[in-house]
Amino acid sequence: MATKLVKITEIPENSSLAVLVGDAGRLQVALTGAEKARWEALPPKTDFLLLHRLPEFILLVRPQSGKEPAALAESFRKAGAAWAETIRREKSEKVAVIGDSGTAATLAFAEGFLLGGYTFSRYKKEKEDFMPGTLEILDEGITVAELEELETVAAAVCWARDLVNEPLSRMTAADLAGAVSIEASGAGVTTEVFHRQKIEALKMGGLLAVNRGSVDPPTFTVMEYKPEGHLNDKPVVLVGKGVVFDTGGLSLKPTPKSMDYMKSDMAGAAAIAAALVAAARNRLPLYLVGLIPATDNRPDGNAITPGDVITMYDGTTVEVLNTDAEGRLILADALSYARKYDPMLVIDVATLTGGASIIAGSHGICAMSEHPEWMEPLRECGEEVYERIVELPLWEEFAQPLKSDIADLSNLGSREGQTIVAGHFLRHFTAYPWIHLDIAGPAFLFERDGYRPKGATGCAVRLLYRFLKRIK
């Protein structure tokens, strides 16, 4: 059961309380002498103090002076996640937040609580998913609408995490298309799913080539949200890589910490679907389209082989030199298909290269674009939600390795600058304002990091939503 955010007007009794202390150090709850002494003795760089008043708890959170607004908000998110862990462990039924650090801090704390409370226990006998039914919010400056919006976005992030955390046995390309269709329908988003026959008729050679080694058919899902009074005649198109499992094909990946977590290779698809659904549920006045090419990448006797030449949806021929560079092949077909919409902007999201993890680790998203008028506001949104962006240059030198002796392009390029090389490959299939986001680093974690759980993180959902909300 998801936790609901409820606005209240007075401090509740018999509740565990998170108290966000104001800049002046004012406390809205009375402390005992011993509690006050612990609070006053707190080291300067410590953000919060947990006080035990069994069966209730009090969490005191103070803002750190000198922090930039984005970093300060992030500290409140992490405090909210820590609070969620305590509440889950202790199974506290009544929980409230008393905000006195500004509405931004209160919202960030509540966001961290909702995201930090996430678990994926579907396949465990002993569930670990306890969370209270409501989180009461006392902050005069916050509106009910703001709480509802936050709740919707957090739920979208958690849905994206669920999609990615599902194993291939429960999340084939067809399963992904079905899950997206159901969720989209509930949000007022129309979907159309292309199956193999339609994909073959469209001659999406990249998607079909990657799928050749699989026993499960590919899908291509089209999402469309076009509300009355939308602000943009030309849509914003979101494209997500939907490789539901990547063995590497005949260019087989090693394991562990390589192939064993490759259910995460559809995190881009999950992100764009969730962001679009959140935008629809919150009634953003935008015309939006989502495109999800989906398949797994497996080796068998019919699998694509290194050296094969394939013909893409737009007619480009590609020499496949590494079958583990498959994401760019299915994305290329989707990016070419996006041209039919004459879009105002296309953003693709993908766990595309290991190089992105080396550049930004799990803390940043690698991005490429030739359109600063779109890139700069997206970067600003990344700072605000702390899904920060490292922009890489599309230098022409990195396009050279993609030349093939026998085809228009090679799919491999060079190890040097591999993330930029992959961006150049995608760039070939665009003819409109375009941004590429490589989320390979932050999409899936091996250890919990604050409100980002071990496993799927739902990376880029909050970033995309914040960006879409800014479009006028």
**Integer Rg of the chain from CA:** 23
**Which stretches in the chain have pLDDT values below 70?**
1, 24-25
DSSP reduced 3-state for 370: coil
pLDDT the model gives residue 126:
86
Phi then psi for residue 446, to 5 deg, are -95, -10
Contact 99, 19 (CB under 8 A): no
The answer to whether residues 89 and 172 belong to one domain is no
Length of the chain, please? 472
Nearest one of 215, 173, 213, 180 to 195, comparing CA atoms: 173
Sign of the alpha-carbon torsion through 465, 467, 468, 472 = positive
CATH number at residue 351: 3.40.630.10
The answer to whether residues 126 and 205 belong to one domain is no
30: its two tokens: 């009375």
In a domain, 168, yes or no: yes
In a domain, 40, yes or no: yes
Domains in the chain, number? 2
Residue range of the domain that includes 264: 153-470
The answer to whether residues 122 and 208 belong to one domain is no
CATH number at residue 120: 3.40.220.10
In a domain, 146, yes or no: no
The answer to whether residues 380 and 439 belong to one domain is yes
Q: Of 74, 106, 140, which residue constitutes the final position of a domain?
A: 140
The answer to whether residues 264 and 307 belong to one domain is yes
In a domain, 145, yes or no: no
Question: 253 catalytic, yes or no?
Answer: yes
In a domain, 148, yes or no: no
The answer to whether residues 169 and 117 belong to one domain is no
Against a cut of 0.85, is the pTM above it? yes
The answer to whether residues 190 and 122 belong to one domain is no
Q: Of 95, 111, 140, which residue constitutes the final position of a domain?
A: 140
The answer to whether residues 57 and 200 belong to one domain is no
Q: Of 116, 140, 164, which residue constitutes the final position of a domain?
A: 140
| Burial (Cβ within 10 Å: 0-12, 13-18, ≥19) of residue 216 | middle
The answer to whether residues 311 and 424 belong to one domain is yes
The answer to whether residues 116 and 172 belong to one domain is no
How many other CB atoms sit within 10 Å of the CB of residue 34?
9
Instruction: From the candidates 4, 7, 88, 253, give the one annotated as an active-site residue.
Output: 253
pLDDT the model gives residue 119:
95
Question: 328 catalytic, yes or no?
Answer: yes
What's the rounded Cα separation, in Å, for the pair 62 and 42? 10
Measured in whole angstroms, how far is the alpha carbon of residue 163 from the centre of its chain? 11
The answer to whether residues 379 and 306 belong to one domain is yes
In a domain, 350, yes or no: yes
Residue 362 neighbours by CB under 8 Å, 6+ apart: 441, 442, 445, 449
In a domain, 147, yes or no: no
Instruction: From the candidates 328, 388, 427, 466, give the one annotated as an active-site residue.
Output: 328
pLDDT the model gives residue 1:
57
The answer to whether residues 88 and 233 belong to one domain is no
